[in-house]
Amino acid sequence: MATLFWLQTGACGGDSLAILSAESPSVEQLFSSHGVELLWHPSLSHHAMRHHDELIERIVSGRQSLDILCVEGSIVTAPRGTGLYDSYQGRAKMEIARELAVRAGVVVAMGTCAAFGGVHAATPNPGDCIGLQFDRAQPGGLFAPDWRSQRGLPVINVAGCPAHPHAMTQTLAWLAAGLPLKLDELNRPLTHFSTVVHQGCTRNEYHEYDIEDHQPGGRACLFFNLGCQGPLTRAVCNSDLWNGVSSKTRAGVPCFGCTSPDFPRDNDLFRTEKIGEVPLRLPLGVERPRYMAYKNLARAAAPQRVRDKEMEP
């Protein structure tokens, strides 16, 4: 059995609620058939808080083994580096996270807040929030870039706001089985971060032919005018649908790039910044001059049914 302790720091609880929507596996299946033994979760545990306090004490003193520590929420360091804007029994949560992490086999940042700082670290960052091992895109957060957990791994960043339910449960099932995980340069598991949101978006045909919406509520692509970050954001949103049925971009909500360290961007989230006619941020790895040439050709080739936006996304 792999023991798991879930700690909430500066959080909204969204990752805890999102994980309840996982089906393959579900949270229940993690416990019943993937060998995860839940020591504590703030919303799901039914023991008295006395039990929680004893658990922390036993983990810290080495009497209780801790295989997986999940942290949900930004690491709040204000005021003046004390972390007391987020405390438990007078102690900074930041310190509790630190002392549990050094005992843990692996540490998993559940969501963009714990990974990179997240929405609470948005300008002007009133709580001086950081991530566990990153400060936005900068390596080094609560822990230095070279920090490693007992199993020799950096903090595993299951990024997302909230993290995708299956990115959470599948990562946990894999770790509980003791299997190796490959990580990207931001320490996100490659299994869930080797796909861009754009892949599988049902508005792709509009993107392909450069048929763009200028206002929300339409059928066409949201990338060129409405701020969609789908082509440059790594996440499984369109290949493993949310709540089993859809995704933001399918529904017509631009992707805000919530698995990225710079989420949320400082500028207008519903507008695409452009140089001339071309978006400032292009799909991952695309070269600007070639992109312009390609799009001009594509637009010229667009079939009438796409130009007329007859196709339902």
Span 79-108, contacts to other proteins by CB under 8 A: 79, 84-90, 93
Q: Are 230 and 200 spatial neighbours (Cβ–Cβ below 8 Å)?
A: no
Provide the CA 312 distance to its chain's centre, in angstroms.
29
The interface with other proteins within residues 44-63 (CB under 8 A) comprises 44-46, 48-50, 52-53
Q: Are 298 and 208 spatial neighbours (Cβ–Cβ below 8 Å)?
A: yes
105/165 with CB nearer other proteins:
165
Task: Extract the tokens encoding 287.
Answer: 């070269």
Determine if residue 36 is left, alpha or beta; phi over 0 gives left, psi from -120 to 50 gives alpha, anything else beta: beta
Helix, strand or coil, per DSSP, at residue 96:
helix
Q: How far is the CB of 87 from other proteins (least distance, A)?
A: 5
CA distance 144 to 308: 53
Q: How far is the CB of 276 from other proteins (least distance, A)?
A: 21
Cβ neighbors of 103 (< 8 A, separation 6 or more) are: 59, 60, 62, 66, 69, 150
Q: Does 233 bind other proteins (CB under 8 A)?
A: no
Q: Does 39 bind other proteins (CB under 8 A)?
A: no
106/114 with CB nearer other proteins:
114
36/153 with CB nearer other proteins:
36
Q: How far is the CB of 137 from other proteins (least distance, A)?
A: 18
Determine which residue in the list 216, 273, 299, 305 makes contact with other proteins, applying CB under 8 A: 216
Determine which residue in the list 105, 117, 127, 131 makes contact with other proteins, applying CB under 8 A: 127
Number of residues that bind other proteins (CB under 8 A): 76
Q: How far is the CB of 123 from other proteins (least distance, A)?
A: 7
CA distance 78 to 170: 34
